[in-house]
Amino acid sequence: MKTVKSVRDLRAAVAEARAEGKQICLVPTMGNLHAGHAALVAKAAQRTDFVVASIFVNPLQFGPSEDLDTYPRTLLADQEKLFEAGCNLLFTPDVEEMYPNGLDGQTRVRVAGVSEGLCGASRPGHFEGVATAVSKLFNMVQPDLAIFGQKDYQQLAVIRTLVRDLNMPIQIIGEQTVRADDGLALSSRNGYLTPEQRAAAPLLYRTLKEIAAAVQAGERDYAKLIAAAQEQHSAAGFRPDYLEIRESNSLRPAQTDDHQLVILVAAFIGNTRLIDNLVVDLNTPG
Ligand code: PAF
């Protein structure tokens, strides 16, 4: 596996693979990789002949009081995991390579509709930062396919919309969330948790499953289900950010006759913000 830092070297390596007739898949990441990322790369390697991963801690998607400076940078360990998972080329640009005109001088991509509400409301500018970085990566690599985790459900919806609205010929694949044995969704930010917080954290997924089971059983008083779960979260020491039931494709608030739902949660435990979600398909028995 080759590691390149410049757009020029990236393009040269991708062009070589293309000239050999290979299909290209991109897996964008911010590093500090875990088994969830490895699953994305392994899926990419199954589907295409040439897997490009990127590691870039994107300053544009962090708010002023967020963890940009402390976000773990673990390049050597990441390289090993990527290699083992079947990655062919790693792109690790620095901020100047990605944003040569500075952050303020960078043209931005704003995705309408699905960027609003949920994480878009709690993290102003976040999805504009994601959409800008991902658009640049797509243009730099020009992959046939790109793979993202479903843990960031709204992000995946933003990227699907971006590709559709800007006519980018890239197939977007969403890959299932990888969880610890106790149900906690794997996340680079889980490393911030103290042992006590880590022990409490699986409650988020448990309550998502409880809500899903109730909805599958016919309960349509969503406000009541949400309030009961929020109470459990608060009692366990979480500071709720949002907990909502949405229509799973459009992300608009769920109506009682919708059949494709997603329950999305964000909550703080200490200073760490965790997110998770669960898709509920009422056309399939739970
Ligand atoms: O999900 C992430 O790690 C990031 O938001 C992404 C997609 C790599 C864009 O910076």
- As averages over each run of 10 residues, the pLDDT of the chain (286 residues) reads 98 98 98 98 98 98 96 97 98 98 98 97 98 99 98 98 98 98 97 98 98 97 98 97 97 96 98 98 86
Q: In this predicted structure, what is the pLDDT of residue 104?
A: 97
Where in the sequence of the chain do the CATH 3.40.50.620 domains occur? Answer: 2-175
Q: In this predicted structure, what is the pLDDT of residue 154?
A: 98
CB of 30 within 6 A of ligand 1: the answer is yes
How far, in Å, is the centroid of ligand 1 from the Cα of 26? 12
Q: In this predicted structure, what is the pLDDT of residue 238?
A: 98
Where in the sequence of the chain do the CATH 3.30.1300.10 domains occur? Answer: 193-280
Q: In this predicted structure, what is the pLDDT of residue 75?
A: 98
Which of the listed residues 56, 95, 141, 155 should we mutate to test ligand 1's pocket, taking the one with most ligand atoms within 8 A of CB? 155
Query: Rounded to an integer, what is the distance from CA 182 to the centroid of its chain?
Result: 21
How far, in Å, is the centroid of ligand 1 from the Cα of 156? 10
User: How is domain 193-280 classified at the architecture level of CATH?
Assistant: 2-Layer Sandwich (3.30)
Query: From atom 1 of ligand 1, which residue's Cα is the shortest distance away?
Result: 29
Q: In this predicted structure, what is the pLDDT of residue 151?
A: 98
Cβ contact 186:198 at 8 Å = no
259 is catalytic: no
Instruction: Name which of 2, 7, 39 is nearest 17 in CA terms.
Output: 2
Which contiguous run of DSSP H or E holds residue 102?
none
How far, in Å, is the centroid of ligand 1 from the Cα of 28? 6
CB of 130 within 6 A of ligand 1: the answer is yes
- The CATH code of the domain at 2-175 is 3.40.50.620
Q: In this predicted structure, what is the pLDDT of residue 204?
A: 98
Cβ contact 57:71 at 8 Å = yes
Q: In this predicted structure, what is the pLDDT of residue 280?
A: 98
CB of 187 within 6 A of ligand 1: the answer is no
Q: What is the pTM of this model?
A: 0.97
* Strand 50-55 with 24-29, pairing: parallel
Q: In this predicted structure, what is the pLDDT of residue 192?
A: 96
